[in-house]
């Protein structure tokens, strides 16, 4: 932290390294990566669960003192060093090069399972090109005798809500209203029995064969990703004009349409009404910290990679402020769009909003699709909704895989001439890894990976990155680097955050995640012990690369610890 490290001058210009054609392409790429599916389904639920409007206070505090400093740090580091997540450690702290390897491993894990979720959206997207969405009715081949439609459940609630003065009104509500204790929604059955076909799997011990239609959807996703990344930022910079901008158009359209539905006002009111007493609960602050961190996405190597293609004197400070603000604003926009529809569902089914809301992917694949299927022009709304989900997912995948590509190509420059071949090999590798999640029991694999692949290990990775930059490379030296780029050093606030607040923020999150991470679950399925053991091995695998490389660096070194460190 005292800046006693050797002074590193401006990195020599590399004529072969390309730069963004337009500044806007860089900003769209960063925004596209940061704004993902979690902004649509995770933030709205966490916000209302943790006090509604009151949650914005800890959310903004964690943004200012935790998320934003780390976001700014990675953008500045990548822009100054002009290299990816592997080579950058040769310049700031060779001892920590295993951190870069861990980043690549984590990014690969995420690419293997995250694209399956996009493939689900692709399946829904093509299924929407019908007169009415197939999850609206119960007369399909995949439906069970317990299937109930949205309208049937809404009408059945009439009997529960009636009173003496309205008994005659409700007495003939529905001749078909079900009282089946095992009733399941038509949208749930479409997702689980048609899209996933999980009825043919008993769990992880019997996932069944690959579902070829889902494998085809996954292949489609990887083909799109390949053609977006094969030429580097020249191709991805053009793709983000579509994938990063169109989701905002769709979100605004959905918000406008949702606000015209009955019950929409109650949904918004439920979303933003502050519950001030919740601020006294520690879990609210922890949820805010976790949401900010995983929403902005430092530590995945993406910000390093994308900013490394900036012009050296680009003002990365303004970029950090602008993109962080856009990310948070998008979360709020998505929250309003989602809760107008949840308010409509609650109104139609005579339920409270917390009864219809869900905290998992079921919100975007079961709850929201069911609601829009009942609106006039339902197929149109379904098409644009799932198109939006695909775009949001692709943007995040572009960033995650570009982090791997940039890191490896910078470390082994001879591969740059064969970038197209390397990228297609990486896509094929991730596709093969993802095939397991397209089996009948693929949902169980996705849930397992979602819990263990990144959320825990990435926290320790970014903690070590913050320590390396703030204490080994030195805050003073890092501040000089930024001054060399943008003409003025970062203020005392940023330096204190990088040296003290951000590492504490990350270490606290890591410890609490290790202690409190619940085992994965889906419905009533209980994961076997061996599955959780495998999950923790997945957590340890990237962290193992850090310790192995540190040991290798010490054994290889001939000098003192200081020489190994630098």
Q: Is 39 annotated as a binding residue?
A: yes
The pLDDT of residue 3 is 46
CB neighbour list of residue 167: distance below 8 Å, 6 or more residues apart: none
Q: Are residues 283 and 151 in the same domain?
A: no
Q: Is residue 70 part of a domain?
A: yes
- Cα distances from 222 to residues 43, 67, 131, 239, 392, in angstroms, run 27, 30, 29, 14, 15
As a whole number of Å, the end-to-end CA separation of the chain is 14
∠ CA 75-14-304, nearest 5°, is 20
How many domains are there within the chain? Answer: 2
Q: What is the DSSP string of 114-173?
A: HHHHHHHHHHHHHHT-SSS-GGG-S-STT--TTEE-HHHHHHHHHHHH--TTTHHHHTTS
The pLDDT of residue 75 is 96
Residue length of the chain: 566
User: CA-to-CA distance for 101 and 354, rounded, in angstroms?
Assistant: 42
Q: Are residues 90 and 164 in the same domain?
A: no
Question: Mean pLDDT for each 10-residue chunk of the chain (566 residues)?
Answer: 45 64 93 90 85 90 93 96 94 93 95 95 96 92 90 62 41 45 84 95 94 97 96 91 94 94 91 89 86 89 95 95 94 92 89 79 88 91 96 94 96 92 96 96 94 91 94 95 95 96 92 88 90 95 94 77 56
Q: Is 395 annotated as a binding residue?
A: yes
Site of tokens 């990228």:
423
Q: Is residue 17 part of a domain?
A: no
Torsion of CA 109, 295, 103, 234, to 10 degrees: 90
Q: Are 447 and 196 in contact (CB under 8 A)?
A: no
Q: Are residues 176 and 119 in the same domain?
A: no
Q: Is residue 12 part of a domain?
A: no
∠ CA 119-340-63, nearest 5°, is 75
Q: What is the DSSP string of 208-248?
A: -SB-HHHHHHHHHHHHHHHHHHTTTHHHHHHHHHHHTTHHH
Q: Phi and psi at residue 8, in whole multiples of 5°?
A: -105, 120
Q: Are residues 255 and 397 in the same domain?
A: yes
The pLDDT of residue 32 is 93
Q: Are residues 165 and 131 in the same domain?
A: no
The pLDDT of residue 328 is 92
CB neighbour list of residue 514: distance below 8 Å, 6 or more residues apart: 456
CATH code for the domain of 118 = 1.20.1740.10
CB neighbour list of residue 500: distance below 8 Å, 6 or more residues apart: none
Question: Beta-carbon neighbour count of residue 491 at 10 Å?
Answer: 11
User: CA-to-CA distance for 173 and 159, rounded, in angstroms?
Assistant: 8
∠ CA 105-109-110, nearest 5°, is 120
Q: Is residue 2 part of a domain?
A: no
The residue among 397, 400, 32, 399 whose CA lies nearest residue 246 is 32
Q: Are residues 282 and 175 in the same domain?
A: no
User: CA-to-CA distance for 13 and 379, rounded, in angstroms?
Assistant: 52
Q: Are residues 504 and 433 in the same domain?
A: yes
Q: Is residue 255 part of a domain?
A: yes
Q: Are residues 238 and 139 in the same domain?
A: yes
Q: Are residues 240 and 302 in the same domain?
A: yes
Strands 184-185 and 147-148: parallel
Q: Is 34 annotated as a binding residue?
A: yes
**Helix 246-259 with 316-349: angle, nearest 10 deg:** 30
Q: Are residues 284 and 195 in the same domain?
A: yes
Structure tokens given for 430 = 């991730």
Q: What is the DSSP string of 449-474?
A: HHHHSSTTHHHHHHHHHHHIIIIIII
Domain boundary among 181, 203, 230: 181
The residue among 277, 259, 421, 90 whose CA lies nearest residue 98 is 90
Q: Is 131 annotated as a binding residue?
A: no
Radius of gyration of the chain (CA): 25
User: CA-to-CA distance for 372 and 277, rounded, in angstroms?
Assistant: 34
Q: Is 32 annotated as a binding residue?
A: yes
Q: Are residues 214 and 315 in the same domain?
A: yes
CB neighbour list of residue 303: distance below 8 Å, 6 or more residues apart: 30, 33, 71, 74, 75, 78, 297
Range of the domain at 303: 23-144+186-565
Q: Are 481 and 8 in contact (CB under 8 A)?
A: yes
User: CA-to-CA distance for 35 and 123, rounded, in angstroms?
Assistant: 22
The pLDDT of residue 154 is 65
Q: Are residues 386 and 487 in the same domain?
A: yes
The pLDDT of residue 73 is 96
Alpha carbons within 13 angstroms on the beta-carbon side of residue 520 total 25
Say whether 512 sits in a helix, a strand or coil. helix
The pLDDT of residue 219 is 98
The pLDDT of residue 96 is 94
User: CA-to-CA distance for 494 and 476, rounded, in angstroms?
Assistant: 11
Q: Is residue 14 part of a domain?
A: no
DSSP state of 16: T
Q: Is residue 439 part of a domain?
A: yes
Q: Is residue 320 part of a domain?
A: yes
Q: What is the DSSP string of 397-448?
A: HHHHHHHHHHHHHHHSGGGGGGHHHHHHHHHHHHHHHHGGGGBTTHHHHHHH
Question: Beta-carbon neighbour count of residue 521 at 10 Å?
Answer: 13
Q: Is 392 annotated as a binding residue?
A: yes
The pLDDT of residue 176 is 45
∠ CA 259-264-268, nearest 5°, is 100
DSSP state of 360: S
């Amino acid at each position: 932290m005292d800046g006693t490290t050797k002074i590193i001058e401006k990195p020599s210009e590399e004529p072969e390294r390309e730069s963004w054609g337009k500044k806007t392409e860089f900003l769209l790429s960063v925004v596209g990566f940061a704004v993902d599916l979690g902004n649509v389904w995770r933030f709205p639920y966490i916000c209302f669960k943790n006090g509604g409007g009151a949650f914005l206070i800890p959310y903004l505090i964690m943004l200012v003192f935790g998320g934003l400093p780390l976001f700014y740090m990675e953008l500045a580091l990548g822009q100054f060093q002009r290299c990816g997540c592997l080579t950058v450690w040769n310049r700031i702290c060779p001892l920590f090069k295993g951190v870069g390897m861990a980043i690549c491993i984590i990014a690969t894990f995420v690419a293997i399972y995250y694209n399956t979720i996009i493939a689900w959206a692709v399946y829904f997207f093509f299924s929407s090109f019908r007169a009415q969405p197939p999850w609206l009715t119960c007369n399909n081949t995949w439906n069970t005798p317990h299937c109930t439609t949205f309208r049937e459940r809404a009408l059945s609630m009439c009997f529960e809500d009636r009173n003496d003065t309205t008994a005659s009104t409700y007495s003939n509500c529905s001749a078909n209203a079900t009282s089946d204790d095992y009733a399941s929604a038509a949208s749930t059955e479409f997702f689980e029995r048609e899209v996933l076909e999980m009825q043919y799997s008993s769990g992880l011990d019997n996932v069944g064969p690959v579902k070829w239609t889902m494998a085809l959807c996954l292949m489609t996703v990887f083909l799109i990703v390949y053609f977006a990344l094969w030429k580097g930022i020249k191709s991805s910079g053009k793709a983000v004009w579509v994938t990063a901008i169109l989701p905002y158009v769709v979100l605004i359209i959905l918000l406008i349409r949702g606000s015209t539905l009955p019950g929409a006002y109650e949904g918004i009111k439920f979303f933003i009404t502050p519950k001030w007493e919740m601020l006294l609960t520690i879990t609210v602050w922890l949820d805010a910290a976790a949401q900010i961190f995983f929403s902005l996405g430092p530590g995945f190597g993406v910000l390093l990679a994308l900013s490394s293609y900036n012009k050296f004197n680009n003002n990365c400070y303004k970029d950090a402020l602008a993109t962080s603000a856009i990310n948070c604003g998008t979360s709020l926009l998505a929250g309003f769009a989602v809760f107008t529809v949840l308010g409509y569902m609650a109104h139609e089914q005579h339920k409270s909003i917390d009864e219809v809301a869900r905290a998992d992917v079921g919100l975007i694949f079961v709850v929201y699709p069911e609601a829009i299927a009942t609106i006039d022009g339902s197929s149109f709304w379904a098409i644009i909704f799932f198109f939006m989900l695909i775009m949001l997912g692709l943007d995040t995948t572009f960033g995650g895989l570009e982090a791997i590509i940039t890191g490896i190509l910078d470390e082994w420059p001879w591969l740059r001439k064969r970038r197209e071949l390397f990228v297609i090999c990486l896509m094929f590798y991730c596709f093969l890894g993802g095939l397991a999640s397209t089996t009948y029991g693929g949902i169980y694999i996705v849930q397992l990976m979602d819990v263990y692949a990144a959320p825990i290990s990435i926290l320790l990775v970014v903690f070590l990155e913050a320590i390396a930059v703030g204490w080994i490379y030195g805050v003073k030296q890092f501040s000089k680097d930024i001054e060399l780029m943008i003409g003025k050093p970062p203020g005392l606030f940023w330096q204190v955050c990088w040296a003290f607040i951000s590492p504490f923020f990350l270490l606290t999150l890591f410890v609490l995640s290790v202690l409190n991470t619940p085992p994965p679950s889906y419905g009533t399925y209980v994961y076997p012990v061996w599955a959780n053991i495998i999950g923790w091995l997945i957590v340890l695998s990237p962290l193992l690369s850090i310790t192995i490389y540190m040991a290798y660096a010490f054994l290889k070194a001939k000098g003192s610890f200081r020489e190994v460190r630098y």
